[in-house]
Structures are given as C-alpha cells and as structure tokens.
Structure 1
Amino acid sequence: MLADEFGREVTGVRVSLTDRCNFDCVYCHNEGLGDTRGPMEPQDDEMTADEVVRFLEVAVEFDVDAVKFTGGEPMLREDVEEIIRRTPDELEVSMTTNGTFLPGRAEALVDAGLERVNVSQDALDPDDFARVTQSGAYEQVIDGVEAALDAGLDPVKLNMVVFQGTKPYLPEMIDHVASSEGLQLQLIEYMPELVGNYDWAVDTEAMHEWLAEQADRIEQREMHGRSRYFVDGGMVEVVDPVGNEEFCANCHRVRVTHDGHLKGCLNRNDDLRPMGEMSRDEIRETFRETVAERVPYYGEYMVERDGEWVVNEKYRDAPTADH
C-alpha cells in the first residue's frame, strides 16, 4: 500500500466517468475542476471502459480496496454497468449519482456489482429542488431512490450540500431519513473556495452544535474524522472539509478525472498528472508520483496566519504538473 510523506495510506480512489451532467446545481464544483460542463453527448476525451478498468487493475496492485464512481453524472455513460462488472473483485464499488437514471437501471447495476449508492437530494419540495439543481427532475430522483432501495442498495445515502439556500430544509430532511427505512443523510459542507459566493457558506460549528442537541447518540468515524448523529432512528453524517485540518490529515483518496488525470487533492488543480496513453507502466508511475506528492490541503498546503488561511510559501513557487 502506498503512503505519502504524511503517513496517509491511499486506500480508495474516486473515478469521474464524465464531466457531463443533466443538472446544473448552483453549488457544483465538478470534483474540484470547476464548472466545466460541456455538451451532453459523449466526448472524445472521456476515458474508455478499457482505460478505467486498466487503471483499477493497477490500483489493486497497490492494495487500494474501494472505488467510487462519480461525474458529472456517471449514469450518462451507457457503459457504467459494463465498467462495474469488469471492476476487480478486490474493490468495494460505490457510486454518486443524481438518481434520475436509477429507475430501470438499478437492478442491472446491482447485478453488475454495485454495492452502495449516494443520491444527491437537497430538498423535499419540487420547487425548492428546482431552484438548487436548476432541474425539473424531482420526481425522477424520488423514483430513483426507491428503485435503488428496491434493488437492494441499502442504505441509500442522500447527499445534501448545506449552504444558505438549503439550510432551511435541514430539519425536514432529517425527519425524512428518520422516517424512511433504508435512508441515511450525508450533509456536505459548501465549498466557497471552489465555487465562490462566500456569503453562501453556513456556520458549520453551529450546525454541529444543533445536531448534537437533536441527537440520541453521536459517533466519530475514522474516515476523515467525520461526525455521525443519530436522530430519532435516522443517521446524519457531516462532511466538513473547509478549514478542517483533521479532515485533510485523514484523507486516504486519490481522484481520477474523466479525461485520465490523477489528482491528489480535491481542492487543488496544480497537482493534476496525465497518465499518458494509460499503459499499465504509465499508470503505475503516475500513481506512485501522485501519492508521493500528496499534501494535506489545510494545515500544510494552506496554513493559518492571523486567522486567515494562506498558501504555504514552500508551495507558492513550486512547479506545477503538466496539464
């Protein structure tokens, strides 16, 4: 297993299959790359199924044990089922999706080997949902969640990005997962450093305090030091990376962009490394380099001075990877 110089072993990979999406969520950062949404038709720069599988086969050589497929919207790829079916057996397979394509395909995904799914759902009212996602697909998402549960993907995690526009929906979302068997809620901190609109950010410390008051039980998860709150029988997990040194110190993932670049940190694009023609040797070399040069974003790449996060001088003039 490979580890960086901070002792963080890489145990998982997050693979973007496309940057295309049928939603246009107001908070989207597209895996840290920014709003790069292109045409809805398949693009020539997307990794082929063979390339994705080849990368995963190499990742397994380094004892990586989990892969999460993402996008864009990964289910815009018609070969998602094939990719999952060909994924090495050593890997736990999960996917993040907006859910609109799960009806009619959820069973095939499970048959192919999908074990877990996260569905983006920020509101329970169609109008509220439309304002956040700039999509009228609310009913399809609800049907998609049901299809995932019916196919045996239990639990289904609902991803809710918490910012000023969605904060009022939080109590209703918590009640929803508490009263719905098989659902869990994952609250994801809004990331203004990737999206802008800093005034949209919420006070996550206050959110933790509020959740603690509601909770019957609290657990601390080893991965990223995440907090889990159990409220009236429902589980709510908080993903709060912004300014969080503990979160970055416990990061064990490497990311792969849709066009075949390795990315050591969500928050950085100066560490992108192309895998060339994606031969096994090129993948191995790039993977080793990416892991070796991974740096915790908060607490190392960004350091706190006088109450503000600034770029660590040792990285300011460092040569960037060839894009």
Structure 2
Amino acid sequence: MLADEFGREVTGVRISLTDRCNFDCVYCHNEGLGDTRGPMEPQDDEMSTDDVVRFLEVAAEFDVDAVKFTGGEPMLRQDLEEIIERTPDPMEVSLTTNGTFLPGRAPDLVEAGLERVNVSQDALDPEAFAEVTQSGAYEKVIEGVDAALEAGLDPVKLNMVVFEHTAGYVPEMVDHVAENDGLQLQLIEYMPELTGKPEWAIDIDRVHGWLEEQAEWVEHREMHDRKRYWVGGENQSEAGMVEIVDPVENPTFCANCHRVRVTHDGHLKGCLNRNDDLRPMGEMTKPEIRDAFRETVANRVPYYGEYMVRNDEGEWEFNEEYIGV
C-alpha cells in the first residue's frame, strides 16, 4: 500500500467516468475541474472501458480496496455495468449519481457488483429542486431512489449540498430520512473556492448545532473527523442517520484523506482542491499507470493549514514551500 510523506495511506480511488451530465447544478465543480461539461454524446477523451479496468488492476496491486465511480453523471456511460463487473475482487464498488437512470438499470448494476450508491437530492420540493439542478427530473430521481432500494442497495445515501439555496430544506430532508427505512443523508458543505459565489456559503457549524439538538445519538467518526447524527426512532437501527461532510478550512479532514482521484480523461489528481498536480497516465499501459500513481501519491500535499495558509489579512494563499511540487 502506498503512503504519502504525511503518512496517509491511499486506500481508495474516485474515478470520474465522464464530465457529461444531464443536470446543470448551480453549485457543480465537476470534481474540482470546474464546469467543463459539453455535449451529451460520448466524447473521444473519455477513458475506454479497458483503460478504466486496467487502472483498477494497477490500483489493486497497491492494495487499494475501494472505488467510487462518479462523473459528471456516470450512468451516461453505457459500459458502466461492464466496468463494475470487471472491477478487481475484493474491491468495494460504490457510485455517486443523480439517480435518473437507476430505474431499469439498478438490478443489473447490483448483479455486476455494485454495493453502495449515493444519490444527489438537494430538496424535496420539485420547484426548489429544479432551481438548483436546472432540471425537471425530480420525479425520476425519486423513482431512482426507490429502484435502488428495491434492487438491494440499502441504505441509499442522499447527497445534499448545503448552501443559500438549500439550507431551508435541511429540516424537511432530515425528517424524510428519519421516516423512511433504507435512507441516509449526507449534508455536504458548499465549497466556494471551487465554485465561486462565496455569498452562497452558510455557516455549517449552525447545521451541526441544530442537529445536535435534534439527535437522539451522536457518533464521532475518526475518518475525516466527521459526526453522525441519529434522528428519530427508539434505537439507532430504527433512526435516520445524518452525516455532515465539512472540508472547508478543515485541516483534520485533509489529514485523514486516503483517496486519489482520476479525471474522465485519464489524469491522476492528488487532491480535490488542486488542479496544478494533474498527472497523465500516457497510453494507459500498466507501467505508465504505476509510475503516475506512485508520483501522484508521493507528491500529495496537505491542504488547509499547510498547503493553504492564512496570510496577514486572513485570506487563504498557497504555501510557497509546496509550489512546483
């Protein structure tokens, strides 16, 4: 297993299979690359099925034991089932999707080996959902969640980005997962440094405080220094689970990052917040992939607190020690 110079072992990879998407969410940062989405048709720069599988085989050589497929919208890839089926054993396979293509495909994905799914759902109100996603597919997303549960992907974790447009819908969403078996909620802090619009950011500590008041149980997870809140029910097995992902200005979150990312066009990425360290994997031969993977891990940097530091004005800036690494 490879580890960077800060002792962080790389145990997981997050692979963007495409930057195409049938939504146009106002907060989207496209895995930190910016809003680069183009036509809906397959693009020549996307990694092929064999490329993705070859990368996973190399990752398995380094004892990576988990992969999450993302996009864009990964289910726009018609070879997704084949990619999952060819993922090396015993690598855990999960998927982040907007859910619109799960009806009709969820059983095949499970049969291929999909174990977990996150579905983006930023509001339970169709009009608010349309405003955030620039899509009228609200009902299709609801159908997709139901299809995932019926196919055995239990629990389904709902992803909700918390910012000015959605913060008012958090209580309703918390009640929703508390009242419906098989659902969990992941509240994701809005990242203005990747998406712009800093005026949309809210104080995520207020959400933590509100959940503390609502929860019957609070669990602290060492991974990324996260808290889980269990709401409703007479015991944890009956309660709804809510987790907050709050990476912004959080050095503990970065200190516990054990993931390397892969862009849709075959570049390795050591940190979501960085695009200055993208490393191509050449023609995607195994020796080239191995070399790029080793280099990416070796050149990972901490983010908040070391790679990004406060200047005298209180603004974040790059630590010159790491520039050009």
TM-score computed with the length of structure 1 as normaliser: 0.97
> What is the CA–CA distance in structure 1 between the aligned matches of 2:170 and 2:42, rounded to whole Å?
36
Q: What SS does the corresponding residue of 1:220 show, helix, strand or coil?
A: strand
Q: What SS does the corresponding residue of 2:310 show, helix, strand or coil?
A: strand
Q: What SS does the corresponding residue of 2:146 show, helix, strand or coil?
A: helix
Letter in 2 for 1:291: V
Deviation sequence 1:227-271 (CA, Å, 0-9, x none): 111111110000000000000000000000000000000000001
> What is the CA–CA distance in structure 1 between the aligned matches of 2:223 and 2:130, rounded to whole Å?
32
- Tell me the equivalent position of 1:313: 320
Query: How far did residue 305 of structure 1 move?
Result: 3.5
Query: How far did residue 222 of structure 1 move?
Result: 2.3
Query: How far did residue 221 of structure 1 move?
Result: 1.5
- Tell me the equivalent position of 2:10: 10
> What is the CA–CA distance in structure 2 between the aligned matches of 1:210 and 1:303, rounded to whole Å?
30
Deviation sequence 1:52-90 (CA, Å, 0-9, x none): 000000000000000000000000000000000000012
Letter in 2 for 1:281: P
Where in structure 1 are there 5+ consecutive unaligned residues? none
> What is the CA–CA distance in structure 2 between the aligned matches of 1:127 and 1:44, rounded to whole Å?
35
- Tell me the equivalent position of 2:235: none
Would you say the 8 A contact 2:58–2:286 is kept in 1? yes
Letter in 1 for 2:7: G
Q: Report 1:201-280 matches (<5 A).
A: 201-232=201-232, 233-280=239-286
Query: How far did residue 22 of structure 1 move?
Result: 0.1
Which region of structure 1 is more displaced relative to structure 2, 204-213 or 19-28? 204-213
Which region of structure 1 is more displaced relative to structure 2, 220-229 or 269-278? 220-229
Aligned sequence identity (%)? 79
> What is the CA–CA distance in structure 1 between the aligned matches of 2:315 and 2:35, rounded to whole Å?
26
Letter in 2 for 1:244: N
Letter in 2 for 1:72: G
Deviation sequence 1:7-50 (CA, Å, 0-9, x none): 00000000000000000000000000000001100000000000
Q: What SS does the corresponding residue of 1:141 show, helix, strand or coil?
A: helix
Query: How far did residue 188 of structure 1 move?
Result: 0.4
Would you say the 8 A contact 2:159–2:185 is kept in 1? yes
Letter in 2 for 1:249: A
Query: How far did residue 308 of structure 1 move?
Result: 2.9
Q: Report 1:165-184 matches (<5 A).
A: 165-184=165-184
> What is the CA–CA distance in structure 1 between the aligned matches of 2:222 and 2:112, rounded to whole Å?
29
Deviation sequence 1:251-309 (CA, Å, 0-9, x none): 00000000000000000000100000010000000000000011111122101334332
Letter in 2 for 1:308: E
1:143 aligns with 2:143: yes
1:304 aligns with 2:313: no
Deviation sequence 1:135-173 (CA, Å, 0-9, x none): 000000000000000000000000000001000000000
Where in structure 2 are there 5+ consecutive unaligned residues? 233-238
- Tell me the equivalent position of 1:126: 126
Would you say the 8 A contact 2:301–2:322 is kept in 1? no
TM-score computed with the length of structure 2 as normaliser: 0.97
Would you say the 8 A contact 2:122–2:161 is kept in 1? yes
Q: Report 1:285-304 matches (<5 A).
A: 285-304=291-310
Q: What SS does the corresponding residue of 2:283 show, helix, strand or coil?
A: coil
Deviation sequence 1:100-128 (CA, Å, 0-9, x none): 00000000000000000000000001111
The aligned length equals 318
